[in-house]
Structure formats: structure tokens, C-alpha cells
Amino acid sequence: MFTRKRIFAVAIIFAILAANLSVQQNPVQAARKITVIIDNTLLNFVEADPQIINGSTVVPFRPVGDAMGATTDWDDATKTVSMYLNGQYVKLSIGNSTMTYGFYITDTSGLVTPVSTGTEALTVAPLIVNEKTLVPLRALSQGLGATVDWYDSTSTVSIKPPLAPTAQPVATPTPTPTGSPTSTTDPFTTTSYFKEITPRRAQAMYNANEAFILAVYNSGEDHSKNYMPKVKDAARYSGSLVYGVDLNDSYTSESGYLSFIWDYTRKDKTQLPLIFLVYGEQDVTSMDYSYTQSELERQFTRFMDYTTYASPSPTSTSSSSYWGNYWTDISFGTAQNYYNDSKRFIYVVYDSQKGDSDLLDKVKTAVGDTRVNVYATNRYNYTANSNHFIWNYTDVDAALTKPVIFLVSSSGRVQTLTVTYSTDVAGYLKDF
């Protein structure tokens, strides 16, 4: 009897161990119905149901891309999924726990050219289950600029795709009173503050170290048609002159002459139009269509003030003394609102009393040198509550002694840099 009891007990122990081992070896959670909603529409998966693996929801990639309106490619040789949507792209490969994402532009022939590249570590690599390719849903969606929310009580993923550039509604024309100024309906018409030039001419001006403002656009695209009036109005109200290069015009064969702009189209340059502030001596600041008209006007005004005051020669005084033109003090609450509104911005947190003043001067000098707009909060004057977004990316007391820089993208990604004496702050700002 004793032997039988011992054998029975041993059998129970082995059964328990086998069950535990089975659970540990299978990262897929127990069957759980996952609901995916994209732009308020329930998504039906025919090929395979969504699953949760290692805490991440994985789904068949093509239905998601189709629902978001993305262009989807599958490279069978490399087992790589590529998706393109409104100037943003992602690439995921089977078995690779690193996702590549970035921004691209499309030329008049439809050729896609990436203008920035980043990587993101995945908690679960794309995989093939029952001959179906599954990819992590949140990483894929956010890589394309979408907003993703998870509701645990109902096991629901809600995705809001990024807004696509659309043509503005055309207002019913009204007769123009006699003697009043005639409104310009063509956003590309030459005026006293806007002049179209060829790519060859723009490159020659750059090579000659001239200071000028350049807008590169495609008159055949709705996005350029909608945005260029803002550029022209900003030029008019700031008293500046903007030169324009149309990549859709008859001289597009000259576009190869416009080589210098591709040295300055870094991250977040999603599509045309692009604006370049050329200070001379191959010193260029680039902007994209995310800037409002008032922001453009402010940038154009500062450009005019700087290029009028400072000599463009190599012996000119350092632009670091002009940091105040690009530095805007805000409260923690305002920064949180910018973050909640998906605004793309550079944010500096520092303490004017307890912090290292030399490190703060280092940041201000870099801001002046790069002419990048920065928002800043002095912790000596304001208090951030415990729910502020910055505490997700840095230690609560980190900004007491050293300035901390936050690069906040419109998709909610945040990169942080605690400034030290060896930090290349200017390079960090330019890369953003």
C-alpha cells in the first residue's frame, strides 16, 4: 500500500511539473477573443485571429494595412513586410525583433525615397503561425503615425489612423467688387513676396553662399496646393521673399541640380512642401508642412533679422547669441497640452537655481547655433504633477542639476537626453 501511495504521489508531482513546463514553453496566452477597431470600424480577420504573445497583440498584417489605407508590400525572399501611409513607413521581418520606421517622399514618377530612418525594439518579433504572418499591432500602427488604445476589460484595441492630406473644400466664388484687390486663386502665382525659380538657379544660389528662403513643392499635389498659400501669406506679412521650386514643372529634369536640399531633410520630413532657410556658408534649417502660418511667419521674420544683422562671411559672429529668438518659456501644463495634442516639439526642462548654469548655457548656445525652436520650463518656477508625461522618460530629480532635453514626435514617441559637458547638443537637435 505504501509503495502504491508513493508511486501515485510521484505521478502527481510529474504531472504538475509537466503542466508548468508546458505553460512556460508556450508564450501565447490562453484563448482570449481580441477585438480590433480601426477608425470606429470593427475589423474582421479571416486568415487568423489576433493573439497575445509575450504581452503584445499580434495580427495578420494585410487586413490592418488595408483598413488604414496603407500600401502594403511583402518581400518573400527576405520575409519582410513593408507598409507606406501618408509619408510614413514601417518594415518588419520574420524573426527580427527590431522594427525599422521613418518618413519618405514620393516624386512625380511615384518613386518612394526614404528621408529618415529609425529603429524600435519589439517585445515579440513577427512570426508565422499556421502559414500566416503575424506582426505586433501596436508597433506597426504607431510606426505609421496612428494612435493606439487598449481596453483591457473588453480586450479591445482601438486604432485611430493619422489624418491623410486632403484637398480643402472649394468655396462658392463671389463677385469681386470693382476697385478692390483681386484675390489670387493660384497658390503658385509669382508675387512681390514669392518668386518661382528653377532647381539649377536654387542650387547656384546655395553654391554662391547666398541667404534665401526656399520652398520645394509639387503643384500637381493637393497637399502643396493647400499649404503653399500659408507659405506665401507668411512671406507677405513678414516682409520676406520666398523662392519656390516646383518639382512638377516642365524643368523637372533639372531636379538633380537641387542636390543640396537632401542634406537637410532629416526626420519628420514626410512629404512636400519643404521649406529651407538658407543662411549662406552651407548653413541650412529645414521645416515641413507641420508648421502653422504664424510659426512660419515668425521663422521668416527671425531669418530676415538675422541675415540682415549678421554677416554671412566665415568671420561673422556666432549665432549662439541669438538663442533667445528660438527659446520659448512655457509651463509644465502647457507642455502637457502639447503632448496630449500630438504636437511635435523640442522641450527642455531645467532648474535655474539648483542646476549647472554652464550646462544650461551649453544648451542655449546649441539652440542659437542650430536655430531650432525650443520650448523650455524652469523647474524653479513651476511644479509638474506626478502624471506629467516627462516622468515616464526621466527620473523625477534628473532636471534639478542637469538640463534634460525631450524630443517629442507627433506619434507620441519621446527621446530624452540628459545634458553633460561631453554631450553634442547641437547634433542632437539637428537630428530631430
- 362 closest CA partner among 309, 279, 306, 422: 422
Radius of gyration of the chain from its Cα atoms, rounded to whole angstroms:
27
* Burial class of residue 226, CB neighbours in 10 A (0-12, 13-18, 19+): middle
Q: What backbone phi and psi angles, to 5 degrees, belong to 247? A: -75, 0
- Say yes or no to pLDDT of 378 above 70: yes
Q: What is the pLDDT of residue 173?
A: 39
- Say yes or no to pLDDT of 324 above 70: no
C-alpha cell at 301: 521674420
Do 194-309 and 320-431 share a fold? yes
Q: Who has greater pLDDT, 220 or 305?
A: 220
- Say yes or no to pLDDT of 261 above 60: yes
H helices of 149-216, in order, are 199-207
Residues β-bridged to residue 151: 156
> Could you tell me which CATH number the domain at 320-431 has?
3.40.30.10
Q: What is the pLDDT of residue 319?
A: 41
- Say yes or no to pLDDT of 281 above 60: yes
- Side-chain half-sphere exposure of 335, counting CA atoms within 13 A: 30
This prediction's pTM: 0.38
C-alpha cell at 36: 480590433
Residues β-bridged to residue 5: none
Q: What is the pLDDT of residue 21?
A: 44
Distance CA 228, CA 219 (A): 9
Distance CA 232, CA 122 (A): 43
- 164 closest CA partner among 72, 265, 270: 270
Phi-psi domain of 10 (left: phi exceeds 0; alpha: psi -120 through 50; beta: other): alpha
- Say yes or no to pLDDT of 333 above 50: yes
Q: Are 98 and 116 in contact (CB under 8 A)?
A: no
Q: What is the pLDDT of residue 171?
A: 35
- Among the ranges given (5-14, 29-38, 112-121, 158-167), the one the predictor scored with the smallest mean pLDDT: 5-14
Q: What is the pLDDT of residue 81?
A: 93
Say which CATH superfamily domain 194-309 falls into.
Glutaredoxin (3.40.30.10)
Q: What is the pLDDT of residue 377?
A: 87
Q: Estimate the share of the chain in helix, then strand, then coil, as percent rounded to the nearest 5.
A: 30, 25, 40
- The sign one gets for the Cα dihedral 243, 235, 273, 296 is positive
Q: What is the pLDDT of residue 115?
A: 63
Q: What is the pLDDT of residue 308?
A: 53
Q: What is the pLDDT of residue 392?
A: 83
- Say yes or no to pLDDT of 207 above 50: yes
Distance CA 302, CA 296 (A): 10
- Say yes or no to pLDDT of 172 above 90: no
Q: Who has greater pLDDT, 26 or 149?
A: 149
- Domain residue extents for the chain: 35-160, 194-309, 320-431
H helices of 26-96, in order, are 61-68
The arrangement of secondary structure in 35-160, i.e. its CATH architecture, is: 2-Layer Sandwich (3.30)
- Say yes or no to pLDDT of 268 above 80: no
